[in-house]
Amino acid sequence: MTPPLPSAPTLPVEPGPPLTAAEQERFARQIRLSPLGELGQRRLRNARVLVLGAGGIGSPVITALAAAGVGRLGVVDADVVEPSNLARQTAHDDSSVGHSKAESAVATARRLSPGIDARAFPVSFTAANADALVAAWDVVVDGFDTFGSRYLASDATTRAGVPHVWGSALGFDGQLSTFWSRAPGGGVTLRALHPEAEDAADSCASVGVLGSLCAAIGSAMASEVVKLVTGVGTPLLGRVVVHDALDGSWTELPLERRVPDVPAPAAVAGAVTAQELRTRLAGGAPLTVVDLREDSEDRSIAVPGALRLPMSRFDPADLPAGPLVLYCASGVRSRIAADRAAAAGISADSLVGGAAALRS
């Protein structure tokens, strides 16, 4: 059964402080739209939006939201930019090849909107970290290209009660919708559209995809975010839009509003690198770091604010609730502790290489 949901974001987002003169000039054409106005622009500036995937779909979402004035933007993507990406992944250019997609996209967002709080998460989106990654955001945008990742996003946002803007593009066909387990008038999730997460054999790598189709779907998804954040217009809740780029048609299909049960998050003994830990700490999402070293050990290298719990007295029952990272001197004991925690039904990540990895 679906576990009880935590507190969900309140939408539309509360407006931030009055706009500066520079912001009024920058967003003048958008502010002039009477349903949006300056109040809507202040809501955008106060919004926190997480984009999963900085590829063909995620790229236009990222650039559109940054240019629109979203105040905090997070980007999750573990891949690096390849030359074959550049024809459709517009958040990157030739100088990005070989670099992290998440970091490249964040750099682009900062160029488009110098005042934005843009954060890169160059990590894989997995069952071990999905709930923690989506928890601190008002809206999550899903630009993944596999059903497995999409269902991880759907289930995590369902548990968190966070809106989930979804889209896909393959060949000349694209589709998009907005899901929200706590939507006014009745929730709806990806599992109402596709009950089972089964990846098709086709992908953009094998079939191909039209670059301009990705831009069209991504831009429409960005508009969904703007509507959710500002309260202007009607999001695609209970509706799926299908676009055929060959004949130019946009077709709307009804979708029954329902929230099928999602599995409770499985207890996982995961692993994080030192760089991934730094990224998560800088991202601001809830995280408890646990230092397993004994009192007699060298502690000159340590994570500030870490909880002290020596391995000789380690009991999973003593771990606090929420996302956890365990570390010791070299990573051996923390891996054992993470396995013990998972056996007790508690997910925890072990820091690969331990405190020694934090030196570099």
Judged against a pLDDT cut of 70, whether residue 204 lies above it is answered with no
Q: Which of 57, 64, 204, 289 is catalytic?
A: 204
**CB contact at 8 A, 245 and 216:** yes
Percent of the chain with pLDDT over 90: 78
**CA neighbours closer than 13 Å in the CB half-sphere of residue 175:** 12
Q: Which of 328, 341, 346, 351 is catalytic?
A: 328
Structure-block tokens of residue 294: 């004994």
Question: Is 214 a residue of the active site?
Answer: no
**CB contact at 8 A, 38 and 24:** yes
* Tokens 């502010």 found at: 31
| Amino acid (one-letter) located at 316 | P
Judged against a pLDDT cut of 50, whether residue 280 lies above it is answered with yes
How far is Cα 282 from Cα 266, in angstroms, rounded to an integer?
Answer: 26
Least confident of 146-150, 182-186, 249-253: 146-150
For the whole model, what pTM was predicted? 0.77
Structure-block tokens of residue 186: 């009745």
Say if residue 211 is exposed, middle or buried (CB neighbours under 10 Å; 0-12, 13-18, 19+): middle
Structure-block tokens of residue 185: 């008038």
> Which domains, ranges and CATH numbers included, belong to the chain?
21-254 (3.40.50.720), 269-358 (3.40.250.10)
Lateral strand order in the sheet of 269-272 = 269-272, 348-351, 324-327, 288-291, 307-308
Length of the chain: 360
| Per-residue confidence band for 205, with pLDDT thresholds at 50, 70 and 90 | low
Structure-block tokens of residue 225: 């975010």
| Per-residue confidence band for 1, with pLDDT thresholds at 50, 70 and 90 | very low
Nearest to 54 by CA among 43, 70, 68, 65: 65
